[in-house]
Amino acid sequence: MCRMLGIVPGEAGVVDLNVLKAFRNLAMSGCVLPKSRSGHTDGWGMVVWNNSLPEYIAREPNNAAIDPQYDVALDRMKNKPISSPLLAHLRKASSGSKRTRENTHPFLFKKWAFAHNGTIRRMNLRDRTDSQWFFHSVMERLDLSNGDVVQAIAEQVKSVREVYDYSSLTFLLSDGKSLYAYRDCSSNEDYYTLYYTQVDGAIIVCQERILDSRWEVVGNGQLLKVDAEKLQCEFLEVM
């Protein structure tokens, strides 16, 4: 369980730090599932791309609301142009999950970065989380599909549905050129939300409406693609 944010900067390549400050507030005040403890305080991470490869601005297994390293991360981005999407994540660990840097989203693999909100149940994984397994399974299918991202996502979603129960497969995925935002939940649609908007030339995808803007809803089962070069959004067929 978590809160996720994706920012695709405008032509100037400047990320409004107020967006990341507003997102930080969700660590304490973000929506949670019914009867769940408050907050998303079990870790946070931010990723951008440099020379076509993703790299962490920071990744800490701490509460972003009070972690001074979050302020350090914001200072690193001050007045620094960013020519790629930015992915950010606030973690709320599932029962039994370890609060470690290794289990803190986003996860990286080659040119890809991935953040997930939800639980895939009864997997009996020993060396990685369900989110890490899901990400690497999509990457394996991507190789088999000759780089067809939508096909890889569709096949992996279908496979999970056939074998496992899950609360949500909602995720953000990017290769630094495009941002893919997928929403899929089996229940609790008021929690597993996903919205997008455009502010000062930047396209923002977030699980909550953190700014005073005109937010559009990503429907349950929809895949949104944001082209980082053209700054265009389109919905792609998954089912």
Query: Where residue 186 sits, what CATH number does that domain have?
Result: 3.60.20.10
pLDDT score for 75: 95
What φ, ψ does residue 70 adopt, rounded to 5°?
A: -65, -40
The yes-or-no verdict on residue 238 having pLDDT over 70 is yes
- The pLDDT assigned to 74 comes to 96
Residue 60's CB: how many other CB atoms inside 10 A? 20
Confidence at residue 216, expressed as pLDDT on a 0 to 100 scale: 98
Tell me how many domains the chain contains.
1
23 close to 206: Cβ distance less than 8 angstroms: yes
* Residue reference for tokens 């997102």: 23
pLDDT at 39 over 90: yes
pLDDT at position 59: 98
pLDDT in tens, 24-35: 999 999 999 998
Instruction: Provide the sign of the torsion angle of the four alpha carbons 35, 188, 25, 3, taken in this order.
Output: positive
In the predicted model, what is the mean pLDDT of residues 133-137?
Answer: 96
- What gap in Å lies between CA 56 and CA 53, rounded to an integer? 10
> Given this model, what pLDDT does residue 126 score?
72
Query: Which residues form the domain of 161?
Result: 2-236
Of the pLDDT bands very low, low, confident and very high (cuts 50, 70, 90), residue 80 is confident
Residue 1 pLDDT > 70: yes
HEC profile for 70-88?
Answer: HHHHHHHHCCCCCCCCEEE
Tokens of 168: 């949500």
pLDDT at residue 97, as a whole number: 65
| Phi, psi for 33 (deg, rounded to 5) | -70, 155
pTM comes to 0.96
pLDDT of residue 94: 73
> Is residue 239 pLDDT above 80, yes or no?
no
Give residue 95's pLDDT. Answer: 52
On whether the CB atoms of residues 196 and 203 are closer than 8 A, the answer is yes
Q: What is the mean pLDDT of the chain?
A: 94
DSSP letters, 208-228, are S--SSS--EEPPTT-EEEEET
What pLDDT score was predicted for residue 171? 98
Confidence tier at 81 by pLDDT (50, 70, 90): confident
**pLDDT band, residue 221 (cuts 50/70/90):** very high
What's the pLDDT score for residue 189? Answer: 96
Q: What is the largest CA-CA distance in the chain?
A: 47
Alpha helices in 78-165 (DSSP H): 130-144, 149-163
- CA separation for the pair 87, 56 (Å, rounded): 10
For residue range 161-179, list pLDDT tens digits in order: 999 999 999 999 999 999 9
> Is residue 138 scored above 90 in pLDDT?
yes
What is the pLDDT at residue 184? 97
Q: To 5 degrees, how large is the angle CA 155–CA 160–CA 163?
A: 125
